[in-house]
Structure 1
Amino acid sequence: MSVILMVVDDEPDVQLLMKQKFRKQIRNQEYQFLFAANGVEALEMLKENPDVDVILCDVNMPEMDGITLLTKTRQVNPTVQTIIVSAYGDMRNIRRAMNNGAFDFVTKPINFNDLGATITKTIKHVKRLKETINEKEELYKKLERYNKILEEKVEERTAEILKQKQIIEAKNQSITESINYAKRIQEATLPRLEEIKTAFPESFIFYKPRDIVSGDFYWFSQKEKEGKRQYILTAVDCTGHGVPGAFMSLIGNDLLHEIVNAREEIQPDRILEELHLGVRRALRQGENQSRDGMDLSLCLIEKDKSVLTFAGAKSPLIYFKNGEMHFVKGDKFPIGGVQLEAERKFTPHQIALEKGMTFYIFTDGYQDQFGGTDGMKFMSKRFRNLLSEIHTMDFEAQSRILEARFQEWKAERPQVDDILVIGLRF
């Protein structure tokens, strides 16, 4: 039986492109396409075609936009899944789509290999969803019957227990799939490595989450003032790891965008102070005893002035100048959490930049990893010695050595925390 896909887009070329790119599936009767030019037309078509499985929908369209259509499709067809296909692939549009029930998001211009894989994954999800609904309906029927003949139907009761086990396993699988999708969302919030590489050609980011999603994240912004560029780079370690840590990372990412890009604050100490207040407000820490927060190192780099300004919340900066290591401590308190002092202030540290200087900011995951012959932590001293050993190498080699040493140290033991190390040279 063909899978029915509805394409909702006001661009006339899209219909031709879809037919051309998926002509093999159409010829083999794997896919059947319906086309609508706007949300109003699509909604009527969906009512007339209840077997539609997947909707490919643009956002900006006349009469009814894609997000509005998204809110109405489940009322007509509870199993249909929507893939938003839009040129507006920023986090705001992605979040709007996901919050309103989109299954996935593909950006224009369309990469049809990516779109094909996304459609395949969505079809599998729809099939599982329909199977689950059918199983649920069957389950209710059986339960009514079993209540009447429970003592006489021991074998049927055992079969039902097995079915319950399968449902739990399916739910676990669904949860894992959701977390995997959350990973894609989290990765979409991270800065593009190309942007950082453009600003700092000699640099690397060694990023290794412990679980599918991470409580560590990095953040980057470049500002221009009077023709001069200013760069802000930070390495952040949120409370916890996995899903709780990932939620904290999204809060931190949004607050940094607001403070730096919206309010245009660039001084590291002021950014940390505003970030601390923002975390406490977001988690209502004035009303509870929540200790959640984050440790981080933040650098403002002004190449035109040859100055790097650093501020840290429980996290340091390490740099090498003429082969000598320098260790700059961050302040002793974190971002967020319990605040006993009247006002939390952070200390800025200015460093004059010279050609050949190498800088590192990092979270504590690498140092806290258990391993070696005695099962001990890697520790900060061994980590600093490793940086001293590799700091003159090119950064691809440094990243490879960090990975190799970590795996050698960890061996068969589990990774205990998220890991983030950022290095750059001037």
Structure 2
Amino acid sequence: MAIRILSVDDEQDMEMLILQLFRKQIRDKKYEFVFANNGIEALQKLEETEDITLILSDINMPGMDGLTFLSKINEKQNPLLKSIMVSAYGDMDNIRTAMNRGAFDFITKPVNFEDLEITISKTVDHIEMLSSLERGREQLIAIQNDLSVAKEIQSSMLPKTVPANIGKAGVDLHAFIHPAKVVGGDLYDYFMMDSEHLFFMIGDVSDKGIPAALFMAIGKAIFKSQFSNRNSDNICEKVKIVNQFLSEDNSSFMFITAFVCIMNVKTGVIEYVDAGHEPPIIIRADGQTELIKKQGGMALCFDSAFEFESHSVTLNPGDKFVLYTDGVTDANNLAGARYGLHYLQDFFTTGDGSTKETAKEMNEATLASLIEFIGAANQFDDITMLSLRYLGS
């Protein structure tokens, strides 16, 4: 698109000289000129003609002089509209006033047309640079708006409050996600499958940002569809179906680690499938902690035919069960130290976590500990936890 230039000068031969000097640029549609004889006419041209981005204006004109015209231009507050002022050689007072009023540059009469061409070219380059920055800013704002919407959508997919039937079933549960970016790839879910069985899980998509968030949304939806009710399929068969679905057409080669659980709220028995995830921590009622032993298990999306195995652990009234993603244990501080699994286990054995009773208090204390540990370092991975306390039915 041609740069549209408004030339304002009461000397009639100026129009002819400009058209002659810039004939090649006009022919190549690089420049397009609009002409006015004074400031009043120039203001009308600005109103009538769109996209004027450069003004070449004489200072000494009848009707409305160039300095008054420049003041009127400033009232428009258009950062992309630049002015080059023209005045007689030696008229430095007016030139100085023009520069103080926001003129971008100036040239003197008699006009040196080589200098005029260079000055206009330099000003056009500046305008194009500003235009590029403005487009980039607008694109950034659009991306930020899209990310905000994506964050709201992702947040709406994760349960925010624990349904009353979980508490009535004798389970105190709380979960949160603290993403490293606006959106992230961690996921969790929990709901009663029937009056006696609680489903809960946590997962971590291998990537970050929007791609991971999209994969996370698909993964959560498939888990929900498979575990929303009790049927003849056991937990291993359900996880296998999820794995097969997610493995199809996975051109991005992303994968999900997950720890998937079904708890019998009457007995405290948790049947689980470990799909390559971090080992949960059990905090017994007497304060002792233990890790769930790793017994194989592969992350989802590596092998669509993989046969998953289930294992079980029993919680007694007062016991707590903590699921987390590697954003917890892999958190680093500026010194390069790693939060680590042993630190996390010690936090619940002898640290502040050992004094917290409710699942929410446990999670909040852990997050506060992580934030303090990370300090001024960047959080490079999502931090997600799901904790529960078995009260017994």
> Could you tell me whether the CA contact under 8 Å between 1:297 and 1:313 is conserved in 2?
yes
Match for residue 213 of structure 2?
A: 246
Change (3 A) 1:330 1:409: farther
Q: What aligned pairs does 1:185-196 form with structure 2 within 5 A after superposition? A: 185-195=153-163
Partner of 1:414, secondary structure, is coil
Structure 2 counterpart of 1:348, one-letter code: S
Change (3 A) 1:149 1:353: closer
The alignment status of 1:424 with 2:388, answered yes or no, reads yes
Distance 1:187 1:221 in 2: 17
Distance 2:189 2:233 in 1: 13
Change (3 A) 1:278 1:142: farther
Match for residue 60 of structure 1?
A: none
Distance 1:411 1:312 in 2: 32
Judge which range, 195-204 or 345-354, deviates more.
195-204
Offset of residue 242 of structure 1: 1.3
- Aligned residues: CA RMSD: 2.7
> Could you tell me whether the CA contact under 8 Å between 1:200 and 1:424 is conserved in 2?
no
Pick from 172, 188, 191 the counterpart of residue 218 of structure 1: 188
> Could you tell me whether the CA contact under 8 Å between 1:235 and 1:361 is conserved in 2?
yes
Distance 1:142 1:330 in 2: 71
Structure 2 counterpart of 1:333, one-letter code: M
Where structure 2 has 5 or more consecutive residues not aligned to the other structure, the ranges are: 6-24, 33-116
Change (3 A) 1:391 1:424: farther
Misfit runs of 4+, over 4 Å? 139-146, 262-266
- Aligned residue pairs total 276
Pick from 277, 292, 295 the counterpart of residue 254 of structure 2: 292
CA deviation digits over 1:179-227, x for unaligned, max 9? 1110000011112323276456533224211011111011123222xxx
> Could you tell me whether the CA contact under 8 Å between 2:163 and 2:191 is conserved in 1?
no
Match for residue 141 of structure 2?
A: 173
Change (3 A) 1:208 1:238: same
Partner of 2:29, secondary structure, is helix
Distance 1:351 1:259 in 2: 22
Q: Scaled by the length of structure 2, what TM-score is found?
A: 0.64
Structure 2 counterpart of 1:425, one-letter code: R
> Could you tell me whether the CA contact under 8 Å between 1:297 and 1:330 is conserved in 2?
no
> Could you tell me whether the CA contact under 8 Å between 1:307 and 1:351 is conserved in 2?
yes
Change (3 A) 1:170 1:264: farther
The alignment status of 1:230 with 2:197, answered yes or no, reads yes
Kindly indicate whether structure 1 or structure 2 has the higher relative contact order, using CA contacts under 8 Å at least 6 residues apart: 2
Distance 2:243 2:232 in 1: 14
Match for residue 320 of structure 1?
A: 283
Q: Quick check: which has more Rg, 1 or 2?
A: 2
Identity %: 19
Partner of 1:310, secondary structure, is strand
Structure 2 counterpart of 1:422, one-letter code: L
